[in-house]
Structure 1
Amino acid sequence: MPSANPPQAPDAAAVQHAFASFLRRTHLSSPSAIARIVAEESATLGGEHVQVCLVDHEQEMLITVPEHEGAESVEHSIDGTLAGRCFAATTIVHGQPDADGCVRLWVPLLDGTERLGVLGMTVRAAWLDDELITSWERFAHLVAVTIVAKRAYGDVFARVRRRAPMTIASELLWSLAPPLVFATDDLALAGLLEPAYDNGGDALDYAVNGRTLHAGVFDAMGHGLPAAGVAAFAVSAYRHSRRAGLDLEATYEAMDAAVGEQYPDRRFVTAVITELDLDAGHLRWICAGHPPPVIIRDRHPVLPATTPVPPLGTRLQHRPPAVATAALEPGDLVLLHTDGLTEAQNPAGERFSPERVVRFIIREAAAGRTAPETLRRMRHALLHREQAELRDDATALLLEWRSGGELRILPPTVAG
């Protein structure tokens, strides 16, 4: 028999109350309490059976954050599930109504454009109009920002993302890594760090200051904790020089001297450091014993002339370092990578060569994939479909300039 007082769809007042209550409660909350607060405040928005899911380090699974200590986490595969489609396409998705007229709704958890995971809840299908879906998108954004703000104060989010033991070397390098997805006007970028739990010598870094992108990829000699320590020092030296306002040439010279003085036992770091003028598309870089950037234009690789200089720490460069330049065109992609990416071998002994890497990126770009999704799928193809063995750490940064990629990362409710 129908209820005399059927539940009502949340109105504007309910939405405002949910947002205000969530903000008030999270001011003094611990990181471990966030999932429970999300679930309780979601009820005001008409959501039941709420799941806050974070992506694991290998970007294969979405794992629920427990609402209380001792609760078991649930995993959703990124491939083949609605939750996974929501994450991969950064779009809001829902299933078919069940016998009770309810649907499972999935909303991306985005801090800006960093893909943290997804928020899942069950709602009444009859309530799903544009206004409520937009409210859920805004609420998910608030949840994502809160997770980023709170993760520095506890370990719950870091633990959820791990599906395997992590080495101390990887712990060090992950602690220094910037978010692996970022976008701003005219720019979208994504990063890759592999193996996720045993990376012992590769690192990446970037910063956008005004309308200039600074980006670098680093590969320290050796493997394990000693190499990770050198890589971490190189990243710190890079940031120190960048924040001091040094130009590209002076940054290389300062880093070379710093690594050489700190590690006189002849440890060194290969690197490529770049600057990109986001308005003009003017790209400058220095290759310190490292593979040069690959520019992909109109589905073809462009390999500008590059004069390499000695690796960082060798102190063998006795004149100003050579700086290579290129004028990007709208829609260009730029790939920075360590040699571990192109030296991986499948069981047949075939290398994931530079040519194959470029072909893969071209194919994904033609299919409309965003930079972060392209690198996620590359990792999946490399380690699963190809069953490749990484002979060295594999690190990459993929940049898109004036391709509209920054808008494709966002849900339609945000991108407009």
Structure 2
Amino acid sequence: MSARPASVGSFLRQAPPDRLPEVVAEHLRTWFPVAGTEVLLSDLTLSSLWPVLEPETPPGSALEQRCFGSQQPVTDAALRRVLLPLATWGDRIGVLRVDLTEAPGHELVTELTGVADELALALRAADKDTDRYRQIVRRQRLTMAAELQWDLLPGRSLTGERFRLAGQLEPAYAMYGDHYDWAVTDDRLTLTVLNGQGDGIEAALLTTVAVNAMRNARRSGANIVEQAELASDAIYSRHGGTSHVATLLLEIDLSGGTVEAVDAGSPRALIAHEGDIRPVTLEQQLPLGMFGDSRYETQKFQLESGDRLLVVSDGVHAAAPGGKAAYGDSALLTALRRTRLQPPTEAVGTVIRALRDYHAGDDQEDDAVIVCLDWLRGTA
């Protein structure tokens, strides 16, 4: 056999966006001792993995889920199988399953990991140019509101040298205006959790205006006060004060842990550290869009190394199904304590599952957002 190409990346860049799994499968068959390949993508609820190459076959097993959750390669020597996480900048996409004709050695697994990394990057880039992968990950039809909000999300997780970040939005297929956004530039991480007033398409459109107004300001170099004020003006000019967006807007200094905040509504923040959980007390200002020419001020609080910052929408902390006490009164803290040893990507799912259990079969009356940030350390 001739020398193996250094990377599959050049082949993926030349391929049509909807044929990336086939390109990787052919590359592996040609250059590696491979008997079979499957690409599995996570569904919108992050609860199951679905095959792309053979979509009629069953979803991924517990072994694939273990790979997806741990974000580490998993080998099954008996089956001569290697499972590799597909992720870009910490945003989990799915799993690459490779069946080999020989036992998986360390060097081979390392090479296959490089192929998985190239595929994950290509899948993320191709997502806007083909519907194939989105058709796999949605297991039922989305409402129009949900379609708008999924397109608006930045991703489901993000990692950097000093932080790990994850968010989850529920219910996945029908939403009512809750949302989150984030962006990292240099040592600054901007994080927003929002709740557009109302439900259905009107709430989603309201949130879309707010998010894009804040992005427009942020990308022009504006600080979080200016971002909030531009979004408030945009909403007021459209609705004249009849609709508003509750927002918590944070800018985190990743080198020192200082957090500047604009609290304009119902999302709430908590800090967990070594089992202790405390609320972040901020002075609440008016929601975006209630009045013309609204002005906002920042408040500050400090993260310590190892702190976990959690932000939840009112669909989490204020949920009171069947006349129960609000979820945020005590059940939320119980759920958060269970996440102490979990990474943010798993912690958000734990809280959302506990919220579902709290509803005990009743439909959620509001959508729910939870965002989890681990600040790992300051500068050395």
Q: SS at the partner of 2:167?
A: strand
Q: Residue 332 of structure 2: which of 333, 342, 357 is its match? A: 357
Aligned residue in 2 for 1:170: 146
Structure 2 CA distance for aligned equivalents of residues 285 and 202 of structure 1: 19
Asked whether the equivalents of residues 203 and 232 of structure 1 are also in contact (C-alpha less than 8 Å), the reply is no
Q: What is the TM-score of this pair, normalised by structure 2? A: 0.92
The alpha-carbon deviation at position 385 of structure 1 amounts to 7.9
1:374 aligns with 2:347: yes
Matched, 1:337 2:312: yes
Q: Distance in 1 between matches of 2:326 and 2:171?
A: 17
Structure-2 separation of matches of 1:292 and 1:382? 16
Structure 1 position 189 matched with structure 2 position 165: yes
Equivalences for 1:204-243 in 2 at 5 Å?
204-243=180-219
Check conservation: 1:255, 1:312, Cα contact below 8 A: yes
CA distance in structure 1 between the partners assigned to 2:60 and 2:322 by the alignment: 29
Q: Provide structure 1 residue ranges, at least 5 long, that are not aligned to the other structure.
A: 1-9, 405-416
Which of these residues, 108, 130, 152, is aligned with residue 132 of structure 1? 108
- Partner SS, residue 27 of structure 1: helix
Matched, 1:56 2:40: no
Matched, 1:108 2:81: no
**Structure 1 runs of 4+ with >6 Å offset:** none
2:22 maps to what in 1?
36
1:122 and 1:351 mapped to 2: Cα distance? 49
CA RMSD between the two structures: 2.2
Give the secondary-structure state (helix, strand or coil) at the position aligned to 1:185.
coil
Displacement of 1:209 in angstroms is: 1.3
Question: TM-score, normalized by length of structure 1?
Answer: 0.84
Question: Identity, % of aligned pairs?
Answer: 27
Cα separation, partners in 2 of 1:273 and 1:212, compared to 1, 3 Å: same
Deviation at 1:46, TM superposition (A): 1.8
Quote the Cα distance in structure 2 between the aligned partners of 1:331 and 1:241: 31
Q: Is the 8 A contact 2:241 2:290 kept in 1?
A: no
Comparing 351-360 with 42-51, greater Cα deviation is found at 351-360
How far apart are the structure 2 equivalents of 1:348 and 1:47?
57
Partner of residue 75, structure 1: 59
SS in structure 1 opposite 2:40? strand
Q: Which runs of 5+ in 2 are unaligned?
A: none
Instruction: Assess, with a 3 A threshold, how the Cα gap between structure 1 residues 87 and 313 changes in structure 2: closer, same or farther.
Output: same
Q: How far is 1:278 from its partner?
A: 0.5
Residues 295, 302 of structure 1: 8 Å contact kept: yes
Letter in 2 for 1:364: T
Aligned-residue offset at 1:38: 1.6
**Quick one: distance in 1 between partners of 2:10 and 2:260?**
47
Between 1:81-90 and 1:29-38, the stretch displaced more is 29-38
Q: Secondary structure at the match of 1:153?
A: coil
2:375 to 401, 405, 414: 401
Secondary structure of 1:76's match?
Answer: coil
Preserved CA contact (<8 Å) 1:310 1:316: no
Counterpart CA distance in 2 for 1:241 and 1:40 is: 45
Alignment-derived partner of residue 88 in structure 1: 69
For residues 225-278 of structure 1, the C-alpha deviation after alignment (integer angstroms, 9 at most, x for no partner) is 011000000000110111122222222222211111122261100000001000
| Equivalent residue pairs, number | 376
Report the residue type matching 2:21 in the other structure. A
Question: Structure 1, residues 198-231: CA drift from partner, whole Å, max 9, x if none?
Answer: 0131111111111011110110110000110000
Q: CA separation in 1, counterparts of 2:43 and 2:178?
A: 19
Shift of 1:26: 2.5
